[in-house]
Structure 1
Amino acid sequence: MLPNFRDTLQDLYESYIALSHGDMSSLNTAHRVANDFRGQLEFSSDWLEELDPPGGDIYAEFLSVAKRYAGNICATAGAYWSKTELTEGYDILSRGPLPAFAHWPKYRLNHATTVSTGEPVPQTGIYLPSAADSAAQFLIAGQAADKANIGYDERTMQNVGREPTKWTLIERVPGETVTDGLLDLLSGQSARINRVPAGDPCPRSGWWYSPAQVSSRRRFKHGDIFPDFEGSHYGATFWLWSQDQADY
């Protein structure tokens, strides 16, 4: 395994240089670290204890940190994040601790910079998908925009599907902060409407979606009765006002 570690280290040096010159695709070198971690599991590290106690413990600790960083980088560079993984479903043990900020950077949606699945990404950054029940992703300029990861299955710890979408760039507002970044990001949208359970009338005409079913986004008129999706693994069906009110 040592030759593999040396080769990966050299790749990391070269990728760092490429990143410093703006090549974000070099983030994918993190897959080499993840692959090396899986490969070394087939070999014993007991010889480290004989060489320099407690060498085995130090080796395991460093390897665990490298694996955690690589996992986060791979998920970001590959647009693999599923809904809730970075919010209420965040796992400190596998993803690492998050700092507690009193104020968060202020962000806004840049509706002038959008891209649809399959098209080349015009600008590297974090994008919000129009698809319902999905998650924001990091997209790299020049690469084809991914499909959106839809939903999250707690049993498999994966998304329940993928679908084409329209992505909108999220940009930071220079020098400004907020106490709740998500609320601020959506402040330019129409006034918030609480979720509405199935069987209730629609309170406002427009596009709505339900996390109880993939690709549920549809237009309702004021007074329409929201349908129910019986047997959904989400449980009770409720409907949410869509952030994207564009007609396609």
Structure 2
Amino acid sequence: MSTPGDQFSLSAWRKAQAAMLYHYASLDYLKGLHQMVSELMDGEIDPLIDLARAQGRDAVLKDARWGDRNTVQNWANSAWPFLSDFRQSLTRDIALRAMEQYEVTSANECLRGLNEFSMNWATPDEERKIQAVLKEISNYARNIDDTMNDRSRSRWTDFNFAYNYPEFSAQFPRISKFRVRTDVKAESSKVPPRTGVYVSSDDPNAALQFAWTGGGGGKLRPASTFNEIGLDALQQVGRKDLWFDGAKMFAFVQSPKYASFFAHKMLGPGKPDPFLAPSLVARSAFVEIPSNWYFVEIINDEFEDIAVVSEDDSRTINTQERLRVEGGHACVRAGYWFTPAKPGSRRYFKDGEMMPAFGTDYGVTFWQWDEDQL
């Protein structure tokens, strides 16, 4: 018996996005953050505080001008509670998962609070070790926060998925298989009917999102997709090398069409660095538009090798090239089209009808064929 939604296939790159989101939203990943914080407190900071006290460091750190500002006692009384509260909040977040409630972590507040207090009571090596672990915790927690933040622009763009991909694929060379449930539909700015990952039914380039139902729900944001610059980069660089090949990305920013646009952005000592080209393009390559969404369901106990690109991705790119019309030209196929250059632009065009162009700061308007013609 087939499951509704089997006819909507995911490209290899979208499968990778789904796997990353399900991983960062998982209870095990959240517990991993709790363990990192506990190990830092119980295995590093608390023993270091005990050592500093046993050595009597505070006796030489107090002074008339700063009082006890640089002492271990001040750090223990004022900074240590930030970590303790952080750990308690993670314990609460773990408990809420049983009710399908998801929250951003308090990592940002904790780390900002810790930075307000001096660690001059520790040796340089001791402080570097603590700061290194805090940085690891920050990077780890950011994946949760980017996945759960439904109140602002999505941090999960195509570029950010690519940035996380090498580490993720090295850790998980095999991922779950997925099916797209076209019978489970959702809309941007609304709470979805089920907790999990969603794929845009409107735009084949839109980044996937995670949303949930518990605690009032986490709404789906507008879709993060390519604007004209992003579409040109995809076509010229190719899906496989987009964001990953610095040389090809650098050639793109130096192409006649975009050389002047990116010239003032290539600031830095010496000649422009090709290594910076992917992030440079990413700052100007995306737009957010409302979208309709389908639920991406995990197929239990079925796995496949992870891959950035496959023949399915190549066919998607070729289709996009054929069904992409520059504004000011005639429609090549009757149906529904949209352009990332203007939110809410989706409309029906007759075959041969002139497709309008909108003024932008980065180039011409391109209309894309909408895969959902309903």
**Inter-partner Cα distance in structure 1 for 2:361 and 2:168:** 30
Task: Note if 1:168 corresponds to 2:294.
Answer: yes
CA contact (8 A) 1:82 1:158 kept: no
Deviations 1:95-138, CA, capped at 9 Å, x for gaps: 98332576654433211111234544321111124565753210
Normalised TM-score (structure 2): 0.52
User: Counterpart of 2:341 in 1: which secondary structure?
Assistant: coil
Corresponding residue of 1:137: 209
Structure with the bigger RCO (C-alpha within 8 Å, sep 6+) is: 2
For the pair 1:66 / 2:195, whether they are aligned, the reply is: no
Paired residue secondary structure (2:101) = helix
Partners of 1:241 and 1:234 in 2: CA distance:
21
Distance 2:93 2:289 in 1: 31
Distance of aligned partners of 1:147 and 1:193 in 2 relative to their CA distance in 1, 3 Å threshold: closer
Contact 1:209 1:217 in 2 (8 A): yes
Contact 1:207 1:220 in 2 (8 A): yes
| Residue correspondence of structure 1 range 37-186 to structure 2 within 5 A | 37-49=111-123, 54-79=125-150, 80-87=154-161, 90-91=162-163, 97-100=167-170, 105-117=176-188, 119-130=190-201, 134-142=206-214, 143=217, 145-150=219-224, 164-174=290-300, 175=302, 177=304, 179=307
Quick one: distance in 1 between partners of 2:226 and 2:371?
19
More strand per residue: 1
Counterpart in the other structure of 1:198: 327
Tell me which residue corresponds to 2:358.
229
- Structure-2 change in CA distance of 1:64 and 1:158 (3 Å): farther
Query: Shift in Å at residue 63 of structure 1?
Result: 0.7
Counterpart CA distance in 1 for 2:174 and 2:351 is 38
SS at match of 1:46: coil
CA distance in 2, matches of 1:244, 1:182: 23
Q: SS in structure 1 opposite 2:122?
A: helix
CA contact (8 A) 1:131 1:148 kept: no
Q: 1:165 to 1:38 in 2, by over 3 A?
A: same
Deviation at 1:196, TM superposition (A): 2.5
Structure 2 gap ranges (5+)? 1-78, 228-279
- 8 Å contact kept, 2:184–2:295: yes
Distance 1:104 1:244, change over 3 A: farther
Aligned length: 232
How far 1:144 moved relative to its partner? 5.4
Structure-2 change in CA distance of 1:214 and 1:139 (3 Å): same
- Normalization by structure 1: what TM-score? 0.74
Within the candidate set 234, 240, 244, 2:368 is matched to: 240
Distance 1:104 1:114 in 2: 24
1:214-225 to structure 2, matched below 5 A, reads: 214-225=343-354
Moved more, 8-17 or 155-164: 155-164
More helix by share: 2
What is the CA RMSD across the aligned residues, in angstroms?
3.7
Q: Which has the higher mean CA deviation after the structures are superposed, 164-173 or 174-183?
A: 174-183
2:160 partner amino acid = L
Is 68-77 or 132-141 further displaced after alignment?
132-141
Deviation at 1:215, TM superposition (A): 2.3
Structure 1 CA distance for aligned equivalents of residues 281 and 113 of structure 2: 27
TM superposition shift of 1:184: 5.5
Larger radius of gyration: 2
Matches of 2:310 and 2:179, distance apart in 1: 10
Task: Please name the residue that 2:101 is paired with.
Answer: 25
Structure 1 residue aligned with 2:4: none
For residues 46 and 75 of structure 1, what CA distance do their matches in structure 2 show?
A: 33
CA distance in 2, matches of 1:198, 1:63: 49
Percent identity over the alignment? 26
Alignment gaps of 5+ in structure 1 = none
User: 1:39, 1:152 → 2: CA distance?
Assistant: 37
Query: Deviations for 1:146-202, whole angstroms, at most 9, x for unmatched residues?
Result: 3415557979959987665433212234525375679759x9x9x934233233332
